[in-house]
Amino acid sequence: MKDLKALFFILHVVHETIFSRITRATTSKQAWTVLQSEFQGSTKVMVVKLQALRHQFETLLMKNNETVQDFLSRVTTITSQMEAYGEQITDETIVSKVLRSLPLKFDHVVAAIEESKDLLVFSFDELMGSLQSHEVNCWYKDENKEEERKLFMAIYNVDDVSNDVWFVDSGCSNHMTSVRSMFKDLDESYKIKVTLGDNKQVQVEGKGIVAVKVRSGKIKFIYNVNFVHGLAFNLLSVGQLMSSDFSVLFDDDLCVIKEKKLGKIVNVPMSGNNMFPLEVSDAGEYVLVADQRTESKLWHMWYGHLNIKGLKLFSSKGIGIRRELTAAYTPEQNGLAERKNRIVVEMARSLLKAKTLSNDFWAEAIATDVYLLNISPTKAVLNCTPHEAWRGTKPSVNHLEIFSCIAYVLVSSQNRKKFDEKSEKCVFIRYCSQSKAY
């Protein structure tokens, strides 16, 4: 009776195109066998289909313009089909595959997850929530639109040009360079297409800040510079200069760049091939290709979100630690220590939230804060930092980097084979206290 009831339900739920194929079945098992053979095929067919699905799963990659939800839906579809053919897939396998398949803009998120989570127990649903949360807060607000920039500069009859020379170009929409070593800070998640004058497209691999050493030895910065691999020359965009409060005038074989606020002027003579090459190491003394607010913001980030008042004091005086004991059993006398602890905690929170890092990295953020506070000005000691008061030497700031920026660690030749990668991508999370390292 139960078998007839089961057969009845099977006959009533199948599509009419399938109904004729199971009408001769007298038991539910016979009907089910016909359906299984129809949709899954024989054992040999199942093996072939499963092999094809495995290949799709292994080669699966997230597209640059694809949302997290769409990509994970594709992952779910393939894994569900594999399970239907008898494949046993664990969450650990799916999570590991997804982390390997994400584009470069998710690199710091992947690094944070791998460091803070146990991938043996980290579920697919938890991973989905983490990635979607990052996507909401991501600077990629419109993944379906690919931004394009135009680059019309045509160059001919040019001898070897040093990295110090930048060509002033009215057809270039952004400052651009191909010299990776010139960047003090580079956001490699910034990806756009650049269209050349011959309609050929090249990829922008990041945007950042270029450091230029001028003749006096000081370091000046060029901001919002695109990193374009393979670009033959450094380019200064006239449009970007004008939007940064500069005026640019081309007249009588001369390009005159004037900083409107300070009135400083640099003259760029036209070369023999009708181009305007600017040696920024010379011009840097007179013209800064950025405003002071942007440079202050950069130092603010390098110093772990130190307040602006402290930065001004540090800048004006080129800038220790005094031990004060309290009476026993009088915690109310520890107000200074309590305030300092609160400052450290607030700075650590700012570091973590600014880079959307997990709170599991609180210890590294605290260590970075304390390191930066020790080389920052303080009211407790006049005209010097705690580092200088303790060690007798002024601290260097040339090595400071932005917390949680992308870093590449060299893999020694002893630990790699001939064709292995020479470096490993990491995320900077603290300064080393024992050596000059990160």
117 plus 156 within the same structural domain: no
Q: In this predicted structure, what is the pLDDT of residue 132?
A: 79
Q: In this predicted structure, what is the pLDDT of residue 147?
A: 44
366 plus 284 within the same structural domain: no
Residue 270 lies in a domain: yes
Q: Distance between CA atoms of 396 and 54, rounded to whole angstroms? A: 54
50 plus 132 within the same structural domain: yes
186 plus 281 within the same structural domain: yes
Q: In this predicted structure, what is the pLDDT of residue 303?
A: 64
Residue 26 lies in a domain: no
CATH number at 252 reads: 2.40.70
297 plus 273 within the same structural domain: no
213 plus 257 within the same structural domain: yes
Among 77, 112, 137, the domain-final residue is 137
Q: In this predicted structure, what is the pLDDT of residue 134?
A: 76
Residue 23 lies in a domain: no
100 plus 178 within the same structural domain: no
211 plus 334 within the same structural domain: no
Q: In this predicted structure, what is the pLDDT of residue 246?
A: 82
Residue 256 lies in a domain: yes
408 plus 310 within the same structural domain: yes
339 plus 214 within the same structural domain: no
Residues of the chain falling short of pLDDT 70: 12-13, 15-17, 20-21, 36-45, 137-161, 196-199, 282-337
pLDDT in tens, 152-188: 444 444 455 677 788 888 778 888 998 888 888 888 8
Which residue segment(s) compose the domain that 72 sits in?
A: 40-137
133 plus 176 within the same structural domain: no
Residue 123 lies in a domain: yes
pLDDT in tens, 364-421: 888 888 888 888 887 777 778 888 887 888 888 788 888 888 888 888 888 888 888 8
Among 258, 290, 322, the domain-final residue is 290
Number of domains composing the chain: 3
Residue 143 lies in a domain: no
Residue 437 lies in a domain: no
Q: In this predicted structure, what is the pLDDT of residue 94?
A: 92
Q: In this predicted structure, what is the pLDDT of residue 436?
A: 73
285 plus 156 within the same structural domain: yes
Residue 225: name the closest of 202, 214, 241 by CA. 241
Among 95, 118, 137, the domain-final residue is 137
Residue 8 lies in a domain: no
